[in-house]
Amino acid sequence: MIKSRLCDLIGIKYPIIQAGMGPFSNNNLCVASANAGVLGLLSTSGVFNKDDQPWIYKAFVETAEANFDDDMATVMEKVLKRTYRLVKDKGGIFGINVMVSTEVLKHSHVMIDTAIRVREENPDMKKHFKVIFTSAGDPMGWKDKIKGAGFTWIHVVPSVKGAIRCKKAGVDVIVASGHEGGFHTSWEPVHSMILLPAVVETVSDKDTLVVGAGGFCDGKTLAAALVMGADGAQMGTRFLATQESDFHQIWKEGVVESDDRATLVARGFVGPARWLKTPRSSEHAKNTLQKSPGVFLGAPDDYSTIDMSLIQYEIESIKAVFEGNKEKAMMAAGEAAQRIKDMPKVNDLVQQMVKEAEGILRNASKLVA
């Protein structure tokens, strides 16, 4: 059985994190993942989208057993209680992924304060709801609130510089997210093969764990993460294309049907984003080259400088996914899409990956003469 420090720290069976994939609902996926023995993560940013992208919000509240008119904190409370109810008998472990970028900071506090309150009011929940995972922003300043409330704190970064900042901020587990990864990616691209060992070498020690993200999707890549010194692997695209995943069927099929060189990078609403390659996303990449060339040159723009027609195009394309309109849809996914050829149940997927990784790691010693 494969075990790592990540398993010991948060009580999961296998050293795998099912990635948060906001703003889309992961509410059912998280339950299936937690019950399969990995860390299940609820994305939370869908709750911020009631006015701007109500189709995303509606799908979120429906899978949260909440109501369209509930306020943000109530939706959050309902989804936490639902997840707890559905994982507790199987010993599932889960957490929340909360974006902490400047534009959404006010909402991030609501999410995290609600999480702390709900867990305090339901002491048994502490055995299952163990992690707050922050993303897309500065980790500095969150330690007292998150760790003070007894959560394990995970933060994701795309660089060694970011990992050093996490360490200073007191993060328990640093996720090194390579450029292969699905959707949000960094302005200055570094892939997992370089980033993960570099982050491990710089920050991993007895108090700080490191997890790889970006391109991990099977037993081979899980074994590779562990061999590179990581304590586990986070997977987004792989879990997206599963039976229980909340993503629209055309999105899941888009991942499964994709082939060689399946993705491209173009402007997303929080910066560069990786999309499945389609005529629609190729058009978006062309527009990005014209209107936001910084995406390809590593020069960030923001909402005060960007041509908003790019953001509008993205919003329309995501709305099209929810309408099942394949032609107009843009679907985010990682480079791993080209290696994903099936849509299994989450538990079968996890068992298969862990078995494959075990076999590889056992055989690896035979390579040493």
Ligand X SMILES: Cc1cc2nc3c(=O)[nH]c(=O)nc-3n(C[C@H](O)[C@H](O)[C@H](O)COP(=O)(O)O)c2cc1C
CB of 120: closest distance to ligand X in angstroms? Answer: 25
Looking at residue 19, what DSSP letter applies?
Answer: P
Q: What is the dihedral of CA 234, 238, 242, 247, to 10 degrees?
A: 90
Kindly tell me which of 43 and 114 has the beta carbon lying closer to ligand X: 43
CB of 273: closest distance to ligand X in angstroms? Answer: 9
CB atoms within 10 A of CB 307: 15
Amino acid found at 5: R
Coil, strand or helix: which one is 261? coil
- The total number of residues shown for the chain amounts to 369
Picking from 18, 15, 5, the residue whose alpha carbon sits closest to that of residue 242 is: 18
Q: Positive or negative CA dihedral for 41, 45, 49, 55? A: negative
CB of 135: closest distance to ligand X in angstroms? Answer: 3
CB of 239: closest distance to ligand X in angstroms? Answer: 8
**Inter-residue contact 128 to 87 (CB < 8 Å):** yes
Can you read off the two tokens belonging to residue 60?
């979120």
CB of 89: closest distance to ligand X in angstroms? Answer: 27
CB of 67: closest distance to ligand X in angstroms? Answer: 23
CB of 139: closest distance to ligand X in angstroms? Answer: 12
Percent of the chain as helix, strand, coil, to the nearest 5: 50, 15, 35
**Inter-residue contact 113 to 76 (CB < 8 Å):** no
Kindly tell me which of 22 and 294 has the beta carbon lying closer to ligand X: 22
Kindly tell me which of 58 and 88 has the beta carbon lying closer to ligand X: 58
Kindly tell me which of 37 and 215 has the beta carbon lying closer to ligand X: 215
CB of 18: closest distance to ligand X in angstroms? Answer: 9
Q: How far apart are CA 223 and CA 137, in angstroms?
A: 29
The 10 Å CB-count burial string (b at 16+, else e) for 15-47 is bbbbbbbbbbbbbbbbbbbbbbbbbbbbbbbbb
Helix 72-87 / helix 105-121 crossing angle, nearest 10 deg = 50
Kindly tell me which of 82 and 238 has the beta carbon lying closer to ligand X: 238
Residue nearest ligand X, Cβ-based: 236
CB of 234: closest distance to ligand X in angstroms? Answer: 5
Phi, psi of 197 (to 5 degrees): -65, -30
Kindly tell me which of 101 and 122 has the beta carbon lying closer to ligand X: 101
CB of 69: closest distance to ligand X in angstroms? Answer: 24
**Inter-residue contact 82 to 27 (CB < 8 Å):** yes
**Inter-residue contact 193 to 225 (CB < 8 Å):** no
Kindly tell me which of 83 and 97 has the beta carbon lying closer to ligand X: 97
Q: How far apart are CA 19 and CA 4, in angstroms?
A: 18
Place of tokens 């079968």: 348
Kindly tell me which of 96 and 122 has the beta carbon lying closer to ligand X: 96
Site of interaction with ligand X (CB under 6 A)? 19-22, 24, 43, 45, 97, 99, 135-136, 156, 177, 180-184, 213-216, 234-238, 240, 332-334, 336
Kindly tell me which of 67 and 230 has the beta carbon lying closer to ligand X: 230
**From the CA atom positions of the chain, what is the Rg in Å?**
19
Kindly tell me which of 93 and 222 has the beta carbon lying closer to ligand X: 222
Phi and psi based region of residue 328 (left: phi greater than 0; alpha: psi -120 to 50; beta: remaining) = alpha
